[in-house]
Amino acid sequence: MRLSLMLCIVTSMLCLLGRPQQSFAPCSASLAEPTALTYVEGALKLTKGGPFALTYEKILDQLGDSAAIAILKLVEPKDLIEPETTQACLVVMAVAFSSPRLISREIDKDPKVTLFLLGYLLERVGDGELKSRIQATKEYVETQTKHLTQHPK
């Protein structure tokens, strides 16, 4: 009985602490449900080895800006500018904004963190071809979201 009560209290606290809104609505995600971090981590690993599974694409296109946040949490700054890692990150960010209408959270439709990360990569990466890919990804994200948000370029 005590264990059940403690488990219920801990679960409730985790749901409330994990919610970005100031809402006290019931938590819809179970504790076993994978997070953006889980999907982005899997996609980054698979992308480094080649194209990733359609399953990841179907999840990533719902993440929007959360994908860039997950990248920043998962990848060390020094590793971000490694060509293989940079390329994998570009694929994940592009897929995350491939269908803006599917992005599940309204706040993630605004690519602030994604554009910040792409700007950081543009400043740090030395390879010209990779810089072109970064710039193309930045323009793609801006194009995909221009009707959703108003950003100075």
The pLDDT tens digits of the residues spanning 89-105 come to: 999 999 999 999 999 99
Report d(CA 36, CA 67) in Å as an integer: 7
The pLDDT tens digits of the residues spanning 126-140 come to: 999 999 999 999 999
Q: What is the CA radius of gyration of the chain?
A: 17
Please say whether the beta carbons of 96 and 64 come within 8 A.
yes
Helix residue spans in the chain (DSSP H): 2-18, 36-48, 54-60, 65-74, 77-80, 83-96, 112-124, 128-145
pTM for the full predicted model = 0.70
